[in-house]
Chains A and B, each alone.
Chain A
């Protein structure tokens, strides 16, 4: 009951950002699909045929690279916005006292925030990506069906938004006196980004994302539990 009350509050606060990111991604994605339909698709076929034999995710990404750029931008934009909304704004508004005095454990407050952030990322980016992929595959934009791996690449790219979310959240929670120390959360997230895009296969990419997420999540949890409000 307490967790759900907190989750509902957090979801309500994330909703405008989630809806904005979803609308932008949906609009730009739909426009790109329409634009793709006007082009010589034979060229795309030749490109994809060559790359799919190699199987590296960086190559698999290429036929859909213009999509993934927007998935990346939307996911990172939404991640940063949610991180700021959930972990910075209470400081500015002075509402931490009201939140922290809830008769529940700090872990529950933290869990509700993170769950709401994840749900917002999944709905705002993940579901829109699912819809765009389904549309691209179903209405003849490509002369061949896009393989599942292309779909998974979209999720991996979208997952980078999660790193941005956790990095921004960690910066918001940090009470470090120096900006360089305070910004270390985002610095770490950026380092994981760079490491991730250098991975050759999908699974190494997901592995890097998972490690980055777990480390950032742990750092945030530690900071939240020991933080002064």
Chain B
């Protein structure tokens, strides 16, 4: 039987009368690396804060490592690593002081050698104050602090935001280091789809507080298609193809974004609508995400149930 490290049931959050999360149902099994993606203001940070018990849900519930998020005990928190958006650490502390502070809460688990090896690898000094570090260096310290206790579950809120390509790569390598340890689960939100593509095996897409995709990365990659049809004379008056999300057109060309539409169906529609030619256009994950969450498609919910 699959063990779920993270589960939510109908998780809903209102800020005043503004709906931030709408009945989120998520299940993440042990050992999974889940990329949590959405546009700005889509509800990613709210969801993460609810999971960690920093916010109270308006309705629904969530569980981390089998414990209700609202009652996370110190022993459970010890098993969860959390990297906050913007890597907000205590600014007046030096790297050595913040390591000592962190280790005071994780006495048994704290791997001092691992932490200092990472700090050396990043080329940081233990005497540097957090407030004097650049955004990227703070991210490196934050990652080392989070990975040193070898957490069972790592939750990261847009950890690579604002980092340059080189530091982002180092950051991802740090994550991969954790992934390689058996049974470690990661949930990380990001705007950078390339990062998700490199490390995630599952993707959850959230838009306006609603989960719009929850599937394996591979399934998402194959499901979202962009197809361009060319017509000799005029465009067809109606477009009735299964899985149509939205379309754009010029005088003689029609470009469609399709979800889970079989190739045979596409060929069939091209023939019946009088298209002279059609071709599937390659998209990277970022293009797929943008097309999938584009405003025109927002009213067309498409959710894969969590397995």
Contacts and interface: CB of A to CB of B under 8 A. Distances in A.
Contacts, number: 64
A98 B56 contact: no
Contacts of A98: 84, 88-90
Interface residues of A, number: 23
Contacts of A223: none
A5 B110 CA distance: 15
Given A5-B101, A177-B16, A229-B49, A100 B54 contact: yes
Interface in A93-138: 93-98, 100-105
Contacts of A2: 74, 104-105
Interface in A1-20: 1-2, 4-5, 9, 12-13
B106 interface: yes
B116 interface: no
B292 interface: no
A229 B90 CA distance: 16
B82 A103 contact: no
B54 A104 contact: no
A228 interface: yes
Contacts of A229: 49, 54-55
Nearest to A89: B91
Interface in A146-179: 177
Interface string B51-76: 01011100000000000000000110
List of 10 A-B pairs having minimum Cβ-Cβ separation, nearest first: A5-B104, A94-B88, A103-B78, A97-B84, A103-B77, A229-B54, A103-B74, A103-B105, A228-B55, A101-B82
Interface of B: 16, 49, 52, 54-56, 74-75, 77-78, 80, 82, 84-86, 88-93, 100-101, 104-107
